[in-house]
Amino acid sequence: MLRLLVFLNQFSVLFVESYNFSFPSFDVESCSNGRNLTCWGSVTAANETLNLTPDQPQNNSNKVGRVLFSQSIPMWPASFSTIFAIRILTNQSISGDGMAFLIAQDDKPSPPHSYGSFIGILDPSTQRCALHQLAVEFDTYRNEREIDGNHVAIVTTNMESPVAVKSLNDIGIDLRSGRNITIKIDYDGWAKVLEISVAYAGQPLVNFLSQEIIMQEIVPHNAYVGFSASTAYFSELHQVLNWNFTLYELPERSLKYGLDPEKEKIALLVAIPVVVVLLAVAVSFLISARKDRKERLQRKEDIEMLTRTAANAPQIFTYRRLSNATKNFSKDKILGTGGFGSVYKGVFSDPPTTIAVKRINATSNQGEKEYLAEICTIGRLRHKNLVQLQGWCHDREQLLLVYEYMPNGSLDKYIGKIFLDWDTRFKILSGLASALVYLHEECGNPIVHRDVKPNNVMLDAEYNAHLGDFGLARLLQNENFVTTMVAGTPGYLAPEVSYTGRVTPESDVYSFGMVVLEVVCGRRSKGIMEENSLVECVWSSYEKGALLECMDQKLEGNFDNAEAMRCLITGLACLHPDRILRPKMRKVVQVFMNPDEPLMKLPESRPSVVCVSWHSSPCSTMTITTTTTTDYTPVAVNMEIIPDEVTVSYEYAYETKKY
């Protein structure tokens, strides 16, 4: 009831003076003379962040940094709210000491010996009432008589006896995690309460610590706000990423603690109808929350039923087991990050098994749809060149997929970077081709992967290829193509998909052709439309009759000429702009496995004419033709007259070369 009375009393301050400033980021000029910040000690600004201590470990001991807003602010009678993001980085298992949000009595630098556990707030000469200030401390090093090395404390005159202290371990926040941490500090000048809320960036704030503070007894009327940080024997980088501060002045009567009896009677008369309204709102909220919870549970049951009814459904894991296996999804366990989330390395203790856990990004607009597609599609697939889905989890609003672990990582880490001999490269391409044959022709309903690229080709201990990440896969369901939003990776995306948004097995063939050229030539593609692109270089060598000139120079000629020639011709054939003229993946496997299998026929040179036709009926055709010298160029058209069916075709000179 007291809080309600205080709230009602605050209506009298709607039109008082307010102060606000905001720093969305910081630049190298932030600490310059004449700017809004005054910096002392080791403070620097770079890369849109404010570094309170140096970012060089060899020069980061016994350092103190302090930064204050250059203008004084009337701290009482007033209410204020400040929100900022911090990041603390270290490469050592032990580091310190921490940083603080500060309300200082003047605009002077930190005391001279305030390094280490004093965090730039006090020093031995200023302890115990020498300074009139208030600090919210974020401590990363456990000193004597402190609860731990990961806590928040409210400090006034003595670092060893804080007004309030609480460990961040209670809410699962680690100051030294290297992650961005959002902190909100609110002070209610009527109720005399300081509240601190904390969360990792992007997550809901948690009301962490609340403490009664009578501001006029601690800091002067006009004071300065800012930050300080320090190190002692161990290096630690303390950064402020952004900062917003808002203060509202209150009337003098707010300095009085509590309400007088007469005002309390008046407030009670007003409070009764307000309480009734609030109760009605609360009941409505509870009903809505219960309905949302019921819908979430129903969605979870639907997902579980969907996987249980599928053939060879993968195992269901608990969130706790996967969290333990990945050390609470530690950043040290991250194997890679994609469009829908990160993949973590995990280890089950009983029996000892290494796994890869894909954690679907909860902020992705398609995360749940992606998750369901993977569960329904991959759960029934069995092939030696596919990444095997071992299980899944849908718990605590988390979407998790468990795969077999691939110790040699993804293929993209090798192309142009780490040497692979020819036999290994040929084995990888043959395995990838075999996986696509299985998806397109052998697994029942044909499956289009839609994102074939080196990042999604995983390598086991023997460098066998395993095609993974079916997040973009769609069942064809007895249709000739899948129509959906354009998805995939530029450079690997077939041209007709860009025009129509329709994917077919032939669009996977196109992506495979680009992977073939990258693996054989030992370089990444710049994209087919770029000048001096990989595709252009291979075509140029083909036109000169010297196709092997584009082989990876790191091989130093140690490769099978016939196999190399077959790979390059296959890659160019798969990259044919007309999907109808691309080979089937079964033909590709036959060419790779059988030296006597006839090769695909290629045109004399790259296409010189692009023809785009829109067919609305057998009697209605619109054709736009443009001529280019080297590459085809998409033609701009009036999208309002495009009918449902779109066909993209390319003219070639049909004379062929023989190798």
**Catalytic residue list:** 451
| Residue pointed to by tokens 């994609």 | 338
Euclidean distance between CA atoms 218 and 105, whole angstroms: 10
- Give the pairing of strands 44-46 and 49-51: antiparallel
Closest among 421, 407, 445, 607 to 519, alpha carbons compared: 421
Non-local (6+) Cβ contacts of 109 within 8 A are 40, 41, 66
DSSP state of 250: -
The phi and psi torsions of 264 (rounded to 5 degrees) equal -65, -35
Identify whether the C-beta of residue 69 lies closer than 8 Å to the C-beta of residue 226: yes
Closest among 127, 110, 342 to 224, alpha carbons compared: 110
CB atoms within 10 A of CB 429: 24
Euclidean distance between CA atoms 421 and 453, whole angstroms: 20
* C-alpha distances in Å from residue 630, one per residue of 335, 492, 546, 651: 40, 19, 19, 13
Most distant CA atoms of the chain, gap in Å: 103
Non-local (6+) Cβ contacts of 117 within 8 A are 96, 97, 141, 143, 159, 232
CB atoms within 10 A of CB 310: 15
Structure tokens at 228: 């300080």
